[in-house]
Structure 1
């Protein structure tokens, strides 16, 4: 398997990649309930990160991602409820870079880092609840520039030479966003998601030019990946109702074929599809650079 060429797979970002860090941080109280979220994952089965770890039988996995994480807590911070009833900030991507450096010192030249973040920053624009603490007015362009600065640290200081940055999924299709029943909020969500993805592409391309050929900073288009499923779910073995999550507040409906598990997170079928597409991208794009 191609992934075995990499010594270690490093996963950074938010709940799209977190396979248990928030679960451990909250003393196994989030995400809940346990019969819905498998082993502290934000899905009802294996996530794409688990599948990649399974494929890479000779590679070590380093999990740095935290559910609710943002790009930079100095701009907007994600929080999770703790067992004592208080809310605690989770490490942003900026923080995760520092934590990774403290944990490993320097990455090896053949480690592969995945970065999946940005969704929660945008969610803070429409979610007025206690989950997010906004400390600075921001634009998608500012978020992308913050991501780039953290990526510079990741590459030049921590030593990441192979990085795959995942674009933000189409937030305008999230059941939680559609449930707002607010056309303006849905339009805003689509606009800022598209703008952030464009800005991420531009910032990462510029970073690649600055770093030179010794480094590979590649992009995976998660946005288009999910859009392809919603446009033709049958082709992907996904339930045709792509707007209703599997978890209805009590039990799971169509857990093996639903696109969404809850209002935001992908169910296990979608994660298996995502893993296959990421591997395909690595074979056709990243590994050839």
Structure 2
């Protein structure tokens, strides 16, 4: 009888050890899958590149936070932290004012130019890194009314990264550009809303096409920023916001409760909103695995 009990206990312990080992291995694989972030885009992801390029002149700090276009860290920094990566593992090429182009506008390299500049100098990209691409807003805020060029530029950027060896890319769509403080009550609001909608639908088609082309060995994760903004504007209390229509910052004077605002200035979100975007990105990454 004792031998039978011992055998059962031994079998149970063996099972527990196997499950524990598998769980540990799974956790290690999860951690190893993303060991760096590479970020391409505009002011929504810029962690201080324009600030450095202008010798600390713009965006002015204060009231902006250490060269970010917000009152605190931006979403890619929050995401990096949530992934357990330190600052040296967050390589950021995003520039405030960038469009999607392959060249420069006002001396600022477009998102495609940022990608090209990086990939051309690399023999092979880190397959365990997460590559982030978020751009397009400035194309339309600067006057573009057709989505063809922006979508082609973003598609080319994704393709360039995948061809160079990237295995996981996260691409964000655009919030409703007709419903940000800078445009909400302007004559162009409805046009910007329409072009945003078209951009996002065309972006989905482009990403789906690229995913099919490169196959299951590559992942293109779509981050639906538009839905997050829409939900926040429709149900602010859900996100602990009390103001989702105006900006916290007025000239150089900040409101007393920025965490209650969706928008820091007339275009950019508060760091509280950036945290929400980072949470959504982390969830999208987890679902894709």
The TM tier, using the shorter chain, reads 0.7 to 0.9
Moved more, 145-154 or 226-235: 145-154
1:42 aligns with 2:44: no
Does structure 2 retain, via aligned residues, the 8 Å contact 1:31–1:40?
A: yes
Residues 238/245 of structure 1: CA separation in 2 closer, same or farther (3 Å cut)? same
Classify 1:58/1:14 alpha carbon distance in 2 versus 1 (closer, same or farther; 3 Å): closer
Q: What is the CA–CA distance in structure 2 between the aligned matches of 1:26 and 1:208, rounded to whole Å?
A: 38
Other structure's SS at 1:244 match:
strand
Q: How many residues align?
A: 258
TM-score (norm. length: structure 1): 0.84
The 10-residue stretch of structure 1 (245-254 or 186-195) with the greater mean CA deviation from structure 2? 245-254
Distance change >3 Å, CA 247–CA 204, structure 1 → 2: same
Q: Which runs of 5+ in 1 are unaligned?
A: 80-88, 126-136
Question: Using a 3 Å threshold, how does the CA distance of structure 1 residues 105 and 44 change in structure 2: closer, same or farther?
Answer: farther
Query: Structure 2, unaligned stretches of length 5 or more?
Result: 1-26
Query: Corresponding residue for 1:167?
Result: 173
Cα 1:4–1:15 change in 2 (3 A) is farther
Q: Which residue of 2 aligns with 1:116?
A: 134
Relative to its length, the structure with more helix (as a share) is 2
2:3 is matched with none
Alignment-derived partner of residue 86 in structure 1: none
Structure 1 equivalent of residue 91 of structure 2: 62
2-structure distance, mates of 1:186, 1:116: 21
SS at match of 2:261: coil
How far apart are 1:27 and its partner, in Å? 1.1
- Match of 2:254? 252
Task: State the shift of 1:103 in Å.
Answer: 5.5
- Alignment pair present for 1:27 and 2:34: no
Partner of 1:53: 80
Instruction: Give how far 1:5 is off.
Output: 3.0
Aligned to 2:226: 223
Would the alpha carbon gap of residues 178 and 58 (structure 1) be closer, same or farther in structure 2, given more than 3 Å must change? closer
RMSD value, Cα: 1.8
Quick one: distance in 2 between partners of 1:106 and 1:22?
A: 27
Whether 1:282 aligns to 2:285 is yes
Matched, 1:149 2:156: yes
Q: CA deviation at 1:250?
A: 3.1
Aligned-partner Cα distance in 1 for 2:268–2:105: 16
For the pair 1:10 / 2:28, whether they are aligned, the reply is no
Residues 266-277 of structure 1 mapped to structure 2, 5 A cutoff? 266-277=269-280
Distance 1:3 1:278, change over 3 A: farther
Give, in whole Å, the separation in 2 of the partners of 1:19 and 1:249: 22
Question: How far apart are the structure 2 equivalents of 1:40 and 1:108?
Answer: 28
8 Å contact from structure 1 (residues 10, 111) kept in 2: yes
User: Cα–Cα, structure 1 residues 3 and 66, in superposed 2: closer, same or farther, change >3 Å?
Assistant: farther
| Residue number in structure 2 paired with 1:132 | none
- Cα distance in 1 for partners of 2:280, 2:31 equals 13
Mark the CA change 1:35 to 1:4 in structure 2 (over 3 Å): closer, same or farther.
farther
Distance in 1, matches of 2:274 and 2:32, equals 20
- 1:83 corresponding residue in structure 2: none
Which protein has the larger Cα radius of gyration, Structure 1 or Structure 2? Answer: 2
1:28-65 deviation per Cα after TM superposition (whole angstroms, max 9, x unaligned): 11112x12210100110121111112123246111011
